[in-house]
Amino acid sequence: MSGPVSNFMSAPVSVIYQDDYILAVDKRAGTLIHSDGTARTSGVAAETLTDQVRAYLEGNGCLQQARNLQALHRLDRDTTGIVLFSLNKETQSLFDALISNRDLHKYYLAIVRGEFPEKERDIALPLGKDRHDARKMRVSKTGKPALTHVRRLEVRCEDSGKRSLMLIELGTGRKHQIRVHFSALGFPIVGDCLYGDAASREPLMLHAYELVFIHPVTGENHTLRTEWPALFSGWSVQNL
């Protein structure tokens, strides 16, 4: 960790699972997993999820695990939900391989604008960088293959129009993949100011809900799941 960190260091973390090799936590909105080089107006680096988890480990006497700590995947700043960390340098490569071989199955929840027309669909649209906006990705014929499996769970009519609750499984893990795919079909995620919901004052309605995998060290089957997110209160969990 480089540079000074803000005074509200050691924000509590919500631990979902922990063993000698990995730790899973439920990330809040607005938190970066790693520093992106930005700073607060005071010139002090913003606290990251990695900082918070390291402080949690140190506070519980897990000093070697705190030194070995490494995030195994990423979520966007405003996406909430489950993030997996490696705690052991000797076994980290096993978990890296789990991800690169697509044996770590990632499930998300999202609320999109409009009534998504199909009960289930595979969205296969290649993605590349947006040449006009460095922050964004876009659908591109020359981009990298990207596959998103989606299932519609519920549709509601609200004052602002219809909305659909979607369950998503990533087939690939491109940057902003879920957000770009829904936007490209005309169903932007609620609160996604970057990809088509610019007028919204709501938070981003995208949550990493579940990870399913076989533990490469113990051989055990794992399903790690967050609590039903507060942002989705009132929507049905019964259809999962």
- The residues carrying an active-site annotation are 76
Q: Is 167 helix (H, G, I), strand (E, B) or coil?
A: strand
Question: From CA 121, how far away is CA 149, in angstroms rounded?
Answer: 6
- Which residue from 212, 213, 102, 121 is spatially nearest to 166, judged by alpha carbons? 121
- Which residue from 21, 92, 16, 95 is spatially nearest to 62, judged by alpha carbons? 21
Note the Cα 104 to chain centre separation in Å: 13
Question: From CA 50, how far away is CA 32, in angstroms rounded?
Answer: 8
Residues 83-92 as b/e (b if ≥16 CB within 10 A, e otherwise) read bbbbbbeebb
Note the Cα 24 to chain centre separation in Å: 12
